[in-house]
Structure 1
Amino acid sequence: MNDQNFQKATFAGGCFWCMVHPFDEIPGIEKVTSGYTGGDIPDPTYREVTTGTTGHTEAIQILYDPEKISFEELVEIYWRQTDPTDASGQFADRGSSYRPVIFYHNEKQKEIAQASKKTLEESGRFLEPIVTTIEEAKPFYEAEEYHQDYYKKAPVHYKLYNKGSGRAGFIKDNWK
């Protein structure tokens, strides 16, 4: 398959370190990149984004083969990595740079994301409102190299962070 047949999916769900691993080894996913999107300045740094003044959020961008995995399936995986009721960040990561967002790259992705959100709202799984936003994709800037595949580069720290942040427990209690 050549690159022009791949599609992009972009999700924000708190710390991008914890968002990469759930998608990284799924058949049909070619690449998962940590980065920043949604802001107004070009090529921001981690330090700039974490100040909360650039408008960016930490996100992952997935390059995937739609013949092997659908956008609907990616959205379902996404929901199960987040607390969709927390607009102020995710778990221990607080502030606008950690807000939950599904970024769409075309109208079909937008429709799929909206339908999925509605299904989740109507499911009664959560007592609080589903506040994850669905926004048009903006330029995506790859994060610094030390952030890429962090769960592989620092597996012990990653596991401690994933647990200590409250993410692992929330997922176990609410999604499993």
Structure 2
Amino acid sequence: MKAVLVAALAAFSLSGAALAQSETYVHPAQPEGADLPEGLAHTVFASGCFWCTEADFEKLDGVVEVVSGFTGGRQQNPDYYDVARGRTGHNEAARIIYDPSVISYDELLHHYWRNVDPFDDGGQFCDRGSGYAPGIFPVDAEQHAAAEASLQSVQALFERPVIVPVRDLTTFWPAGIEHQDYYQTHPARYQRYRFGCRRDQRLRQIWNGVEEG
């Protein structure tokens, strides 16, 4: 559904030239995070619509910036519509840039799980297809170990299989500027989309009443 929405071009900027994005997709991010200011870290999560993933994480204290984009695929400079149609092998995803002295990777993982349907690998909510499949993309061995441990902890909460993969990050490609901060630049459209997808209703159905060990 989201792929058919027409997004008007919106101004987009990030504080710091090192984090600048471009509508021509020329600033891919590598796992080592060489473009990050000193003291910051990053990771990548996929939970369906990247507009929603971005909105879900930007509200957290310690998160400096969230960038909508694509990862996990084989094509250079993937196109939004090709990803949505499952032609490139990419997931819609969000790069989380954060201050680890304020928020830990484990806390980001906890927030991720509460904002994803962990039982659906055919898309997320109303968005169907491989381009919307969920995934955790750690950037190093430490994150990978934490992600795997988190996956096992979540699996212990449910009797049915949790099918969110943990995949090492290769390259993250930022989406065009019309997709960045969409929930802020197009609030009415975003809210209609999110409500129409019943994203929050489904999340409440999954997570309300779940007791953690």
In structure 1, C-alpha distance between the alignment counterparts of 2:198 and 2:137, rounded to whole Å: 24
Question: Aligned match of 2:162 in 114, 130, 133?
Answer: 130
SS in structure 2 of the partner of residue 86 of structure 1: coil
TM-score for the superposition, normalised by structure 2: 0.78
The one-letter amino acid of 2:180's match is Q
Q: CA deviation at 1:168?
A: 1.2
2:58 is the counterpart of 1:28:
no
Q: CA deviation at 1:108?
A: 0.8
Q: CA deviation at 1:51?
A: 2.0
In the alignment, what sits opposite 2:190? Answer: 158
The one-letter amino acid of 2:174's match is E
Q: CA deviation at 1:146?
A: 0.8
The one-letter amino acid of 1:14's match is G
1:73-88 alignment to 2 at 5 Å? 73-88=107-122
Q: How high is the sequence identity, in percent, across the aligned residues? A: 39
In structure 2, C-alpha distance between the alignment counterparts of 1:173 and 1:149, rounded to whole Å: 27
In structure 2, C-alpha distance between the alignment counterparts of 1:43 and 1:16, rounded to whole Å: 17
Question: Aligned match of 1:106 in 135, 140, 156?
Answer: 140
In the alignment, what sits opposite 2:174? Answer: 142
2:42 is the counterpart of 1:8:
yes
TM-score for the superposition, normalised by structure 1: 0.94
Question: Aligned match of 2:149 in 102, 109, 115?
Answer: 115
- Unmatched tracts of structure 2, length 5 or more: 1-35, 209-213
Question: Aligned match of 2:90 in 56, 70, 85?
Answer: 56
SS in structure 2 of the partner of residue 11 of structure 1: strand
Larger radius of gyration: 2
SS in structure 1 of the partner of residue 137 of structure 2: strand
Determine which structure has the larger helix proportion and give its number. 1
In structure 2, C-alpha distance between the alignment counterparts of 1:134 and 1:103, rounded to whole Å: 6
Q: CA deviation at 1:160?
A: 1.4
1:83-98 alignment to 2 at 5 Å? 83-98=117-132
SS in structure 2 of the partner of residue 108 of structure 1: helix
SS in structure 1 of the partner of residue 166 of structure 2: strand
Q: How many residues align?
A: 173
2:94 is the counterpart of 1:67:
no
- Unmatched tracts of structure 1, length 5 or more: none
In structure 2, C-alpha distance between the alignment counterparts of 1:128 and 1:158, rounded to whole Å: 31
* Contact 1:45 1:144 (C-alpha < 8 Å) held by counterparts: no
The one-letter amino acid of 2:38's match is Q
Q: CA deviation at 1:128?
A: 2.4
The one-letter amino acid of 2:187's match is P
CA-atom RMSD, angstroms?
Answer: 1.2
